[in-house]
Structure 1
Amino acid sequence: MATIHVTTPEGTSSEDYHIHIGRGLLAEAIQYPDHYGIRNPVIISNTTLAPLHAQALAAGFNAPLLTMPDGEAYKTLETVAMLYGEMVNAGADRRSTVIALGGGVVGDTAGFVAATYMRGVDFVQVPTSLLAMVDSSVGGKVGVDLPQGKNLVGAFKQPKSVLIDTEVLATLPDVEWQNGMAELIKHGLLADEGLLDTSLHRRENAAELVTRAVQVKVDVVQRDPYEHGERAHLNLGHTFAHAVEQVTNYAWAHGQAVGFGLMAAARLSYALGLCSAEFVDRVEGILAEAGLPRRLGAAIDPAALWAAMRTDKKWQGGTSRFVLLRDVCQPLIMEDIQQETVIDVLQGLR
């Protein structure tokens, strides 16, 4: 088992936590709950994962299991309100620990519930998708969507611990593996070129891939826990991705949208003279090997994507803001990029 310690310079020791990565951690957590910061647990999962993993965990803890519908469309304040009510009915109090068992949607939603229920209760992240393991379960960002855009309501809430049981990846559909590869490739482009080696992108290497990708994010989050600077680099590809998700009403999975977003970020970097054509070709080849989208398709209007981007919370004062690349491990933030430039890039990717 690998264990990564997370601390934040502005925080207190009570905000430090450990990320545990290995096989059989769910069973171990039931046997040694105190070791993982679990007391009076309430498990939140979704209707798909409940019979696969959550029911056994709830039985092991003799804990209530609350379920939400599966999918990004349910990452809403309405779902949060429903879960608040079920928490009350289950007798959850300020000493309870919310266990978020699921992918990114469950983690974001359950984490927001934990951050706000009775002004905040402890929570533990138990990600079950590759995407959540390498990205959303780490760093303390939680929140939900509004009709106007993604993640517009949220908080910073550090977990008591993160349990990444790689055994659960055995039931992960291939498309979800591809979705997770998008975030893993993002981390490789930002800070670990070894993660771009497509010969490693196989399930038997899951523990190594997850550990390396998590370390990239932890290193950034420890230096900038509340996204005042460097942490914004982790949004590489996400301005495009969130717009695609919104415009398609979440017909694109998050990982698919991030894959396209990385392609678009590379093309925009080239259009602005920041990187070489060879670098763009390399990014496209890596995404192709992972089975991720590199083109929008004719049905998606670039002008509609631009309009959706204007609600992106990373933009400031109505000014565009994109994370771009000069090369591998050379990210930068560019502001006030003109609408025409972005739309031209998107037109070239239809």
Structure 2
Amino acid sequence: MVQNSAKQVTVALGERSYDIHIAAGLLSRAGELIKPILKQQRVFIVTDENVAKTHLETLQNGLVQENIESFVEILPPGEATKCYSILESTIDALMAQGADRNDVVLAFGGGVIGDLTGLVAGLLKRGMRFVQVPTTLLSQVDSSVGGKTAINSKMGKNLIGLFNQPEMVIADQDVLQTLPVRELCAGLAEVIKYGLIDDPDFFEFIEQNAEKLNAADPDTLAEAVRVSCEAKARIVSEDETERGKRALLNLGHTFAHALERANGFGPALLHGEAVGTGMAMAYRYSKAIDLCSGQDVTRAEKAIAALGLETDVRNLAGGPYEANALLEHMMHDKKTEQGRLTLILAKGIGQSYIEKNVDADNLLVFLNSETAD
């Protein structure tokens, strides 16, 4: 078991505020944490096959200790699970088990399960409460916090969804020790993002501790999770529904979502892997339009690469990628308004900003340079 002290971060949203619990051994204490919010001594767990094999028994034992019954729906792993058909079948499965508005659903898995389950909870009988129990680094530092829930459509990523805040987030640090190296690296993309957005001190911490983070050092990871959650909680508290500052959290994501869409949301490319390349692309594009110095671009690229992530789209899994197709996918991004594309760009390390008037022709020239052999 990881030997790190318990930490708690609050997402301040008035009456809908909630806590993020960060510590080792929290799955075993899940019943204790969840019991105060239950109106009925049962919960509904939505998870995937991989998480179920490794961690479901621990979670259920933690619930049994508080006499909490659990019903489990196990889904296929992978981004393709975030689709209409599985959204429908999951809602039907919960209703068949008698789920009602007094019940609580546990989203037990990575970002895919968290996004899908949050949407299920928001829709089923006009709204059930739910708890995020993230099991990947990416979901602990990003997708489980802030209330964004969604599925993908053929038009793009996360286009069908709603804002639905959880009752709490339970981030057990022990589960990070069972992550495959690839999943760990994917999560580190969302960690370094917070440094690149507006926290140069945290960026420097990541530079200095890249080796420990790659080795899943428990104390270093726990600190990275804490700082990341505090950063996201602060931004979400200021701008819950992404009308302003919260868009900064999408640094690199417009590029990344286009890469994922071009890959058909297939298993060859994980979300965090796409984000790592997407952030490097955002910095290079910022340099291309004379916003960011070459020195800062090089520093960002080196730090991203040090976390085991690819920075060159030509070497990215799932390719080759084509410039015109990427631009078309980017134009379907949620931040596009009246045909005008918004990107999160950077004036330097920790100096990201929202650019709402991106020149599509200029961007296409850049994408051609990025994808050319």
**TM-score for both structures, normalised by structure 1:** 0.95
The equivalent of 1:321 in structure 2 is 342
The Cα of 1:32 is off from its aligned counterpart by 4.5
1:53 aligns with 2:34: no
**Structure-2 separation of matches of 1:264 and 1:270:** 10
**Structure-2 separation of matches of 1:6 and 1:37:** 20
Unaligned runs of 5+ in 2: 1-5
For 1:158, the aligned partner's letter is: Q
1:25 alignment partner, SS class: coil
Structural mapping, 1:22-61, within 5 Å: 22-35=23-36, 40-59=42-61, 60=64, 61=68
For 2:12, the aligned partner's letter is: T
**TM-score for both structures, normalised by structure 2:** 0.89
The equivalent of 2:8 in structure 1 is 3
User: 8 Å contact 1:58–1:64 — kept in the other structure?
Assistant: no
Deviations along 1:126-182, whole A, 9 cap, x unmatched? Answer: 000000010000001101111110111101111000000000011100000100011
For 2:368, the aligned partner's letter is: Q
Deviations along 1:31-61, whole A, 9 cap, x unmatched? Answer: 4432466853100000111111124323534
The equivalent of 1:110 in structure 2 is 117
Deviations along 1:54-98, whole A, 9 cap, x unmatched? Answer: 243235343001111111011011111001111011111111100
**Structure-2 separation of matches of 1:341 and 1:162:** 41
Residues matched between the structures, number = 346
The Cα of 1:29 is off from its aligned counterpart by 1.5
The equivalent of 2:255 in structure 1 is 240
- Larger mean CA deviation between 237-246 and 189-198 belongs to 189-198
1:187 to 180, 191, 194: 194
The Cα of 1:328 is off from its aligned counterpart by 2.1
1:226 alignment partner, SS class: coil
1:142 alignment partner, SS class: strand
2:27 alignment partner, SS class: helix
The Cα of 1:230 is off from its aligned counterpart by 0.4
The equivalent of 2:136 in structure 1 is 129
1:89 to 89, 96, 99: 96
The equivalent of 1:220 in structure 2 is 235
State the identity %.
37
Structural mapping, 1:235-274, within 5 Å: 235-250=250-265, 251-274=268-291
2:313 alignment partner, SS class: coil
1:282 aligns with 2:283: no
After superposition, the CA RMSD in angstroms is 1.5
User: 8 Å contact 2:252–2:276 — kept in the other structure?
Assistant: yes
- Larger mean CA deviation between 58-67 and 110-119 belongs to 58-67
**Structure-1 separation of matches of 2:300 and 2:293:** 11
User: 8 Å contact 1:264–1:345 — kept in the other structure?
Assistant: no
User: 8 Å contact 1:124–1:161 — kept in the other structure?
Assistant: yes
For 1:26, the aligned partner's letter is: L
User: 8 Å contact 1:183–1:258 — kept in the other structure?
Assistant: yes
CA spacing shift, 1:264–1:37, aligned 2, 3 Å: farther
**Structure-2 separation of matches of 1:65 and 1:237:** 35
Deviations along 1:312-350, whole A, 9 cap, x unmatched? Answer: 111101111101011122221112322232223223333
Segments of 4+ moved more than 6 angstroms: none
**Structure-2 separation of matches of 1:284 and 1:214:** 23
**Structure-2 separation of matches of 1:327 and 1:84:** 45
2:163 to 148, 156, 171: 156
**Structure-2 separation of matches of 1:156 and 1:289:** 34
For 1:194, the aligned partner's letter is: D
1:27 alignment partner, SS class: coil
CA spacing shift, 1:35–1:21, aligned 2, 3 Å: farther
